[in-house]
Structure 1
Amino acid sequence: MTAELHTLTGAYAVDAVPEEEAAAFKRHLRGCPACRQEVRELREAAARLGAALATPPPPRLREATLAEVARTRQWPPLVAVARRGGPAKTRIALWGAAAAAVGALVFSLVTTSTDPGADPAQQQLASVNAVLTAPDASTVKEGAERGTTTVVTSRSEGKIVVLAGDLPPLAPGKAYQVWLIGASGVHSAGLLAPDGPHRTRPVLVDLPGGIDRVGITAEPAGGSPAPTVPAVVMVDLV
């Protein structure tokens, strides 16, 4: 059971675990520092992605909300409640009906404005969530003096997410490059983009067949067609 619980870190981090399994995993976290760390890192990554996509409410939101309130028929006075509790309870009931109508409208507008198909950044966020919550998602973390790298793989989604933090500082003109390595060869997964003093943005790429390792090397700033130096980090996939 413990081995199975280790695979739930990605789904638990984005609240995609059924209530019963979430309770079991929460108990597991109390005695598993590695899973606690992975959940913390995955939640931070999800929060950074969400913050990067955050936009002000659309200009039409206020006008549409007020218009909806004006034309939404309110509940009639609750006479029985008014006799027992006085005008205050009646006002609460009426405000509750109005709030429900407004809430439904706001939810509709926000959902529309955050549709994953709206732009490439939102599509990427949806794809990252799909990998983290996939039934076959496999999480591997490599932690050492050269930083911490977490790799989440989903064969069913055909994608892989790489999260890296606290990597050694780079010399001027250098950048960290991610590589997918296996029987099919060595494939570049792109460069790691900084996202703070000690962390980088998640890398999301397609997963070629036969890949069993993920490596990170320090390459020229523009990247290299193949690794030119030994890997700073090497993660074996499960």
Structure 2
Amino acid sequence: MSGVTGTTGVDGTDDVRTLLGAYALDAVDDVERRAVERLVAADAGAAAELADLRAVAAELGGAVAGEPPAALRAAVLAAVAGQAQERPGGRAPGGARVDVQADTRADVRADVPADVPADVPIAPVVVPPPAPADSHPAPDERPLAPVVPLRRPRAVRWAGVAAALVVAAGVPGALALQQAQRAERAELAQAQVEEVQRRTAQQIADLLTDPSAVLVRGSVTGGGTATAVFTDDRSLFSATGVPEPEAGSVYQLWLVDEGVITSAGVLTDEGGSLVRLVDTGGVGSLAVSVEPEGGSQQPTTTPVVLLTQA
């Protein structure tokens, strides 16, 4: 951190204090570690600053590894849930179970000839009744012999069966394809969540090790503790133990610069923790107020915490 000299660094400079953030993250080599430990042993102010940085790193570590952003989490759940999954022979909209195979058998049964298994019914052949014994019909009125229907060629007879089997086989295949597509979307959404978390963790680490970083802590009205790490161009705000806002209300972060107040966005309350990394452009104060759901253009209530860079 800047502003403290008098201790020889690993490179012969007086800026071992700039390694405090890296030391808190266990991101120093053995030579730097010994230099920081000598500084902390000799300088009570550096020791206190290191303790604060370690506390912030612990808080933010839990925040970064916690629940993913609500929008991406919803996308993952939606992709995983998809549509209701039913086996072939699922339930119809009214709740009745549909047997795909039974319907298929019903469609092709009439096309199966008599030489197939006996459990397949055959369309009946109608034979005219015999003439009475005492009747003597004219030669041209004698009853005709029963007409035996000609069998269709084997390829034609089994065409319907084959088509039905193809349709039945395609049903589980289509369901498997849908499930694979949903799984792919879920994996993509999860990868996006992990990438956001990775970038956020890296940005926090970079900020904590920035030589210009200044750490400020304060109490939140109603409960909780807030911490801000200010640098020349970005700032990190975090708070823990804050009460959940009332229904219809949210926490909103503000940049305060010589009386000019600019919104830095609505904060998501994750189990009493708030975290936001913002581009401040050198602004030296951060404030949080409770606002109507959706946020406000300017604060409508007294801030519950105001952190100002000394």
Smaller-chain TM-score bracket? 0.5 to 0.7
1:125 equivalent in alignment to 2:197: no
Query: Which residue of the partner structure matches residue 159 of structure 1?
Result: 234
1:166 and 1:7 mapped to 2: Cα distance? 29
1:25–1:225 Cα change, 3 Å:
farther
1:52–1:20 Cα change, 3 Å:
farther
Return the TM-score normalized by structure 2: 0.47
2:306 match: secondary structure: strand
1:119–1:7 Cα change, 3 Å:
same
1:14-71 residue CA offsets vs partner (Å, 9 max, x unmatched): 1235213431365467996675355223223124314568xxxxxxxxxxxxxxxxxx
Once the 2 structures are TM-superposed, how far is the Cα of residue 180 of structure 1 from its aligned partner?
0.7
Unaligned stretches of 5+ residues in structure 1: 54-117
1:119 match: secondary structure: helix
1:134 and 1:13 mapped to 2: Cα distance? 13
1:190 and 1:175 mapped to 2: Cα distance? 10
1:13 and 1:47 mapped to 2: Cα distance? 15
1:186 equivalent in alignment to 2:261: yes
2:63 and 2:44 mapped to 1: Cα distance? 23
1:123–1:169 Cα change, 3 Å:
closer
Query: Which residue of the partner structure matches residue 147 of structure 1?
Result: 224
Check conservation: 2:257, 2:284, Cα contact below 8 A: yes
1:189–1:31 Cα change, 3 Å:
closer
Query: Which residue of the partner structure matches residue 276 of structure 2?
Result: 203
Greater C-alpha radius of gyration: 2
1:134 maps to which of 187, 200, 210:
210
1:142–1:7 Cα change, 3 Å:
farther
Question: Which residue type is aligned with residue 230 of structure 2?
Answer: T
Unaligned stretches of 5+ residues in structure 2: 5-15, 69-193
Question: Which residue type is aligned with residue 46 of structure 1?
Answer: G
Across the aligned residues of Structure 1 and Structure 2, the Cα RMSD in angstroms comes to 3.5
1:32–1:206 Cα change, 3 Å:
same
Alignment of 1:7-156 (within 5 A): 10-17=21-28, 18-24=32-38, 27=41, 36-50=51-65, 119-143=195-219, 146-155=223-232
1:36 and 1:186 mapped to 2: Cα distance? 31
1:111-159 residue CA offsets vs partner (Å, 9 max, x unmatched): xxxxxxx83432222212111111111111113664211101121xx21
Question: Which residue type is aligned with residue 139 of structure 1?
Answer: L
1:230 equivalent in alignment to 2:302: yes
Return the TM-score normalized by structure 1: 0.59
2:307 match: secondary structure: strand
2:47 and 2:219 mapped to 1: Cα distance? 15
Check conservation: 2:20, 2:36, Cα contact below 8 A: no
1:172-212 residue CA offsets vs partner (Å, 9 max, x unmatched): 1111111110038212112222232x322x20011134x22
